[in-house]
Amino acid sequence: MTPQPFKLPFLASYVLVGAVVGVLVIHPLNLVVVWWELARFSETAPDLIEFLSARLWLLLLPRHLDVAIAYTLLGAVVGLAFGIFSRNYMRTSEAYRSLRQEQTAHIPSIMQGGETDGVEFKSSLRWDMRENRINRGLEKVIAKTIAGFFNADGGYLLVGVDDNGNALGLEKDLSTLKSADLDSFERTVNDIVSRNLGGDLCPSIHTVFADVDGKDVAMIIIRPAPRAVYMEDGKSSVFYVRSGNSTRQLDVREALNYARSRWA
């Protein structure tokens, strides 16, 4: 989506509101600070309401016009800055929503293409389909696959999909979470990455969802990592890399040579 240019009425409204805020809010607040300073060092400080009333009416006098203009301009600048920030935030949010929608739309076609060096299917995140129970060991399998993508060229890990590319859904996995919703699923994915691979890598992944044949499917999008990614396995650190349509463990010498060429 091509960002739209700033619209004058949009920014003008923020400038106008800011100018009003400058006179009606910033100026009175500044006077409160002045009154507080006077009250601290004087036993005869005027009542706050009387002090504000007397000072605020001065803005109507011609000789104090410069003060009114100053607060108007200050408020207008604040309003303009806030308007630009709001506009940029809305642009970024809209672009992000558009990107997620585009990625979500590609999930069915990725499933049809089968597993490749950049695509992997997993039936579940933590639910053991064979034993019909939670199996936290499956989270290690997810972490291993993500590590392999991190150390290669990135890729897509689809969860809730069998080896043949058929949608199985996330219902079983969701039932194991405190909140059985997709946001909790995404947080769980980030937690798996953080615990097993490193919290600094969470910004390199994001999860989108699609309804395929009436079932929810998750797609974890993994970008190449900025560093070598090792997975903790007991007291040792293991290095995985994507090789063809599978994830392969490298021994120490292979891992060092690969890391040296990959992140040199």
Q: Which amino acid is at 107?
A: I
Rg (CA), the chain: 29
Give pLDDT, residue 3: 47
CATH architecture assigned to 115-262 = 2-Layer Sandwich (3.30)
Contact 258, 229 (CB under 8 A): no
Kindly report the pTM of this predicted structure: 0.68
> pLDDT tens for residues 53-84?
877 777 777 777 888 889 899 999 998 898 88
Query: What is the rounded CA–CA span in Å between residue 208 and residue 191?
Result: 16
pLDDT value for 99: 63
Hey, where are the domains in the chain? 8-105, 115-262
Helices (H) and strands (E) in the chain, counts: 9, 9
Contacts for 78 with CB less than 8 Å, ≥ 6 apart: 18, 21, 22, 26
What whole-number distance in Å separates Cα of residue 206 and Cα of residue 189? 9
Per residue in 107-152, pLDDT tens?
A: 999 999 999 999 999 999 999 999 999 999 999 999 999 999 999 9
